[in-house]
Amino acid sequence: MTLSEEDYIKAIYHIGKGENTTVSTNSVAEEMDTKPSSVTDMVKKLSEKGLVNYKPYKGVSLTEHGQKTALTLVRKHRLWEVFLVEKLDFSWDEVHEVAEQLEHIKSEKLTDSLDKLLGYPEVDPHGDPIPSKKGEFKKAIKKLLSEVPIGKSGVCVGVKDSSAPFLKFLDKNNIALGDAVLVMDKEEFDGSLHIRIGDRDIHISQQIASNLYLKITE
């Protein structure tokens, strides 16, 4: 597999979780499924291009330019995800792979027109915020369902575990992004929950609840 500069930038951004932190070459290698020595080589090149700051043995961070590049990629990725779900009837667990390809298309006009077509969405189908053209972010206040106190409610906006089995479980149990959730009760000894979702009451294990993100509404 041959990886692009953009793939490296993205990995560095994601490991730093959007903060402008310094990350290790090892962690980048692991994230990208490649070898640390390959990362070192590429990082040198990116450094020469002014996209990252790099001091041998001291890790990598994105320059301002690099951050802009990363945010543009995130913006494009999430806009395409919205497009696929809203306009092409993809389900929210099918979009990632395709968006991964589409995010590399180079055309500012395309991105901006897409944004307009979609009505300037603020979040993607997974509940993650979409950076504006200028790269501004509204940070969503997200909590794991397992950490939401009894009586509080919110909107299901994302998952921590995005593996196919977990996504399938949610689908089977009719739990989807955008669903309103009310935490009704909690079993102290096993952490399982009683929740109201849509018009039905269901029981959720601690394991499930700790992989579902809610945006608290009340």
Helix (H, G, I), strand (E, B) or coil at 53: strand
Residue indicated by tokens 């009310």? 182
Q: How far apart are CA 194 and CA 204, in angstroms?
A: 6
* Residue 113 interacts with its own copies (CB under 8 A): yes or no: yes
109-142 in b/e burial notation, b at 16+ Cβ within 10 A?
eebeebbeebeebebbbbbbbbbeeeeeeeeeeb
In this complex, which beta carbon is closest to DNA, that of residue 13 or of residue 213? 13
> x/- string (CB under 7 A) for DNA, residues 29-68?
-----xxxxxxxxxxxx--------x-xxxx---------
In this complex, which beta carbon is closest to its own copies, that of residue 7 or of residue 214? 7
Residues 4, 26, 37, 88: which binds its own copies (CB under 8 A)?
88
Q: Look at strands 200-204 and 193-197 and give their pairing.
A: antiparallel
User: Min. distance of Cβ 40 from DNA in angstroms?
Assistant: 4
User: Min. distance of Cβ 139 from its own copies in angstroms?
Assistant: 29
In this complex, which beta carbon is closest to its own copies, that of residue 110 or of residue 150? 110
Inter-CA distances, 30 with 9, 37, 59, Å? 14, 12, 14
Residue indicated by tokens 């040198």? 44
Stretch that binds DNA, among 21-29, 82-90, 103-111, 150-158 (CB under 7 A): 21-29
DSSP letter at 149 equals: P
Q: Treating both helix axes as pointing N-terminal to C-terminal, what angle do 5-15 and 36-48 enclose, rounded to 10 degrees?
A: 100
Residues 117, 138, 185, 201: which binds its own copies (CB under 8 A)?
117
Residue indicated by tokens 């039905």? 200
> x/- string (CB under 8 A) for its own copies, residues 46-85?
--------------------------------------x-
Residue 90 CB neighbour total at 10 angstroms: 17
Question: What counts of helices (H) and strands (E) characterise the chain?
Answer: 8, 8
In this complex, which beta carbon is closest to its own copies, that of residue 56 or of residue 119? 119
User: Min. distance of Cβ 150 from its own copies in angstroms?
Assistant: 38
Q: Which does 97 bind (CB under 5 to 8 A by kind): DNA, its own copies, none?
A: its own copies
Rg (CA), the chain: 19
In this complex, which beta carbon is closest to its own copies, that of residue 87 or of residue 160? 87
Residues 15, 29, 102, 140: which binds its own copies (CB under 8 A)?
102
